[in-house]
Chain A
Amino acid sequence: MGLAALWLAAALAALQLIGGFLSLRLPGNPLEPVVRPTAIVQAALVAVAFACLIAVFWRTDLSVALVAENSHSAKPLLYKIAGAWGNHEGSMLLWVTIMALAGGCVALLERRLPERTILATLAAQAFVSLGFYAFLLIASNPFARLDPAAPEGQGLNPLLQDPGLAFHPPTLYIGYVGLSVAFSFAVGALLTREVSPAFARAMRPWVLGAWIFLTLGITAGSYWAYYELGWGGWWFWDPVENASLMPWLAATALLHSVSVLASRNALRAWTVMLGVVAFAMSMIGTFLVRSGVLTSVHAFAVDPERGTFILALLTINIGAALTIFALRAGTVSEGERFAVVSRESALVFNNVMLTAILGIVLLGTLYPLLAEALGAQVSVGPPYFNPATAVFVLPMLVVMAIGPLLRWRRDQFARVRPVLILPLLVLIGVAIWLTIYGLHVLPLLGIALGTGLLMVALVPLRGRRLRTVTLPLWGMVVAHFGIGVALLGVACDSAFSTEKLVAARVGETVAVGPWLVRLSRIEPVAGPNWTALEATLAASYSGAAADELKPQARSFWTPVQQTNESAILTRWNGQLYTVLGEEADDGRWQLRLWWKPFVTLIWLGGMLVALGGALALLGRVASDWRRAIAAGKIVYRRQRQGRG
């Protein structure tokens, strides 16, 4: 049933592709009116296929190979369902599902652009989808049967059995796929040479939507790594993390260049190229994660064969798009010019910096591969990435603070100087205070700049009545404020964290930062599919009443694996992070304790950024609706007048 729906959907995608491209060559051909409905029906069919997959996981139907390999009847229901996309085949099906749904939405809703551009866009979307259908149907059929049915499933990797992670991959996929829509728009616009502000306005909600989900996905993924890996780190510059960061960087750049194009009709070719690059980064990320060409802490079930397939798709899609770009972009003018001091130029600066960071992350991630090809082994890690990206991040943040205060086209720096003086003084004050405190350069700059950013981010609201501020402006302010918050969190964590590694006896008390932590007892406990040793820690913050934490060392049996479950106590001013290690032979227990002041700001900031994106999206969509309704009314009135 699911498989049949999938085949049908693939056939429709082919029809959509042919119809769309034909309309480029032969305007008014008979397939033209079919394209939009085809996209919608295709979306419905894939949704049915995905629903079937969820159903077999729900029932733990062990005659389906995928279920037998990735699920187990003893698993909690949430993870049974999450198991549907917690594996390669299922996640690919999820990918095409979201992609088809997005294509369906474009077909259903988008009326602003010339019909030719929309058809070309849908054709491009179908082209990308077809590749994934081929992948699913030929190389990784999620509905393959087992005969006879397996007696019991093999279970899901215990590290993945976590509520946060059940929703982490779909979040990232929605982001990736949203970028595929931006990609299709870019290709469509290149094919028809219709790179206009209207194009930017049509593309913007998709970019914004994708960007919100990417932001959430990275924030959640980072928090997951933080509490699950059990060493207190929240970002390791691991290839898989970089793979999720790169599309975000490209999408952030795209988001900003799209607004320049939408409001000022400038940066045309650049925006189109970013549209291609952003999706390229999504696919490159997927490729790096799945193919196993790079070694990663987060690598699950990698397979070079599938990697080759994704690489082939990647090469065809992106290679074709970049070739079209190289051939066509020369005929797309860059559009309006602007002065060095202007909002455009601040946004261009932001784009250059983001692209540079993207380049550094990509290069650093791939460099070990390049070295291997030359027969050498190199490791590129935080000691490279931190300073190399900071060089670009810090100036970018300064410009991010000032940019929104500038006018479009041309401005005088002197005009905005007065509002910047106070934040600048605060920034310098904080820097001096921290220098006396004896901090390293990067955390010091981070905290000082973060404080300054928080103040400047709010300046665009100055002198406005808050009720009349538009949603997109609120969105920008909240997102920029969120960046400041996250930066403060990052800098505080690296500056003020204290670590305590001890071997403690039951009853012993350990001091970490302002905390006194007592190891009260160690007991065995049992969960649905694991057993664990659980420590009970009584933690008291500078003499206050003690709170209990219960870190565990868990042993899973389907499949067999050990994990450390950290226990975290959150206060307004930071987190106490505790991990239970192994038993030493003299009856003492390894404890790892961290006091991380304000570390929560990192993820709070990430959520604020996503919230800002959501506000902006809401504002844009609402104003599009209003405009559509107003336009409809005018048409209606004209028709009535025509009759009267």
Chain B
Amino acid sequence: MMRSLLIAALLAAAPVLADSTLPPAPYANVQLEDPAQEAKAAALMASLRCLQCQGQSISDSDAQIAGDLRNQVRLRIKAGEDPEAIRAWLIDRYGDYVSYAPRVTTLTWPLFAAPLALLALAFVLLRRRFTRSAA
């Protein structure tokens, strides 16, 4: 019972925690004027993880901190910065958590090796299943 009350409280917690009354940052919910730049920004934002919400990208989040990060991403793209440089800058500050695109590191290489390993395994196991085409 106590536990369920807690869960209910947690569910209710998000809106009860006060939010800033400041309006959203200039580019939080407004697109860049140049469609090519906006497309770059949109692709980057879709692959950056919101710092406070549960598993959403900043482009899918209503959290204010996500809005501020969208603002920053758009401003820097507008200033001509490369999307991957912005991603690297953020990873430099928050670690790999912030990016939905895992990098190949000593920790994550199995993610990238897995597809190849699976195919190799399938080949080894299936090799003997086939008859010779002459059979």
Contacts and interface: CB of A to CB of B under 8 A. Distances in A.
Contact flag (A, B; Cβ within 8 A): yes
Contacts of A382: 46-47, 57, 100
Contacts of B23: 584-585
Interface stretch (A359-367, A524-532, A596-604): A359-367
B55 to A, nearest CB: 5
Contact of B130 (A69, A303, A345): A345
B54 A367 contact: no
A167 interface: no
A355 B126 CA distance: 14
Given A348-B129, A503-B30, A383 B55 contact: no
A337 B30 CA distance: 61
B3 A502 contact: no
A379 B102 CA distance: 7
B135 to A, nearest CB: 7
A209 B126 CA distance: 29
Interface string B43-80: 00011010001111101101000000000000000000
A445 B31 CA distance: 28
Nearest to A345: B130
A379 B99 contact: yes
Interface string A311-324: 00000000000000
A297 B122 CA distance: 34
A499 B60 CA distance: 13
Contacts of B3: 303
A339 interface: yes
B38 to A, nearest CB: 8
Contacts of A157: 11
Interface in A487-518: 499-503
A334 B118 CA distance: 20
Contacts of A623: none
Interface in B81-122: 95-102, 107-108, 110-111, 114-115, 118-119, 122
B116 to A, nearest CB: 10
Contacts of A376: 95-96, 107
B26 to A, nearest CB: 10
A146 B60 CA distance: 40
B60 A378 contact: no
Nearest to A562: B15
B135 A339 contact: yes
A382 B129 CA distance: 35
A332 interface: no
A91 interface: no
A421 to B, nearest CB: 23
Contacts of B110: 363, 367
A475 B30 CA distance: 47
A387 to B, nearest CB: 10
B115 A384 contact: no
A503 B118 contact: no
Contact of A154 (B8, B42, B49, B115): B8
A500 B62 CA distance: 16
A504 to B, nearest CB: 11
Nearest to A381: B100
Contacts of B98: 379
B15 A561 contact: yes
A295 interface: yes
Contacts of A345: 130
Contact of B111 (A334, A364, A503): A364
30 contacts: A229-B60, A236-B55, A296-B54, A297-B53, A297-B56, A299-B54, A301-B4, A340-B130, A356-B115, A359-B118, A367-B102, A379-B102, A380-B100, A381-B101, A382-B47, A383-B101, A383-B102, A384-B101, A499-B31, A501-B29, A559-B8, A559-B12, A560-B15, A561-B12, A561-B15, A564-B62, A582-B24, A590-B24, A590-B29, A592-B29
Interface of A: 65, 69, 146, 154, 157, 229, 231, 233, 236, 238-239, 294-297, 299-301, 303, 334, 337-341, 345, 348, 352, 355-356, 359-360, 363-364, 367, 371, 374, 376-384, 388, 391-392, 410, 499-503, 559-562, 564, 581-582, 584-585, 590, 592
